[in-house]
Amino acid sequence: MNAALSAGPLAEVTRSVLGDAAFLFCDEVPADAPLLEGRLAEATLFFEAPCSGHLTLRLPWSVALDAAANLLGTDRDDPEAEAGALAAAGELLNIITGSALQRWFGSSAVWSIGVPSTCERVGQLPSSSAAGALVAFVIDDARIEIEAIEGGRG
C-alpha cells in the first residue's frame, strides 16, 4: 500500500463529511465492539490520481437509512429514505473521495473520479477481507467502514 493513501487523512475527512453533510456523528470503535451481521449498503468509487485506486464505504442499512433521511430532510421511516439509501451512500462516498484526494495529493494535483457504484448486500462488519487502508467508526452503535485501495480496477 502506498503511504499516499494513508488512513489518518481518510479518517479525518470521513468524520467531517459524515457529520457535516449527513449529521452522522462518528465515535471510535470500542475494543469490545461486536461483529455486526446483516443488511449493508456498499458504495465503491474509482479514481485516477498521482496514486490511483478506489474507495469503498460500507454502512449498515440502518445508517444508510439515516443518511438518506438526513440528506433528503425526511424521516427515516419515509419510503423516500428506503429508496434513497444506496444513493445516499454513493453521494457521501463521492464527497469523501474528493476531500480525501485533496488531503492526500494537495489542491494543485490533477485527479478524476468516477461515478459511485452501489449495492445492497448481506455481510458483516468488520470486513474479513480488508486489503488497503481501513478506517472504522461507530455511529449510533453501528460499525461503519471505509477502505482505500491502491491500484486499478483489477
Rounded to two decimals, the pTM is 0.93
CA 124 – CA 131 distance, rounded (Å): 16
Question: Structural domain boundaries of the chain?
Answer: 3-149
**Fold exhibited by the domain 3-149:** Chemotaxis protein chec (3.40.1550)
CA 33 – CA 53 distance, rounded (Å): 29
The answer, yes or no, to whether residue 128 has pLDDT greater than 90, is no
> What is residue 71's DSSP assignment?
H
Query: What does the buried/exposed string (b/e) look like for 18-53 if buried means 16 or more CB atoms within 10 Å of the residue's CB?
Result: beebbebebeebeeeeeebeeebbbbbbbbebebbb
The helix (run of H) or strand (run of E) holding residue 122 is strand 117-125
Tens of pLDDT, residue by residue over 50-79, are: 999 999 999 999 999 999 999 999 999 999
CA 50 – CA 92 distance, rounded (Å): 23
Provide the grid cell at 76.
427515516
pLDDT at 153 (0 to 100): 59
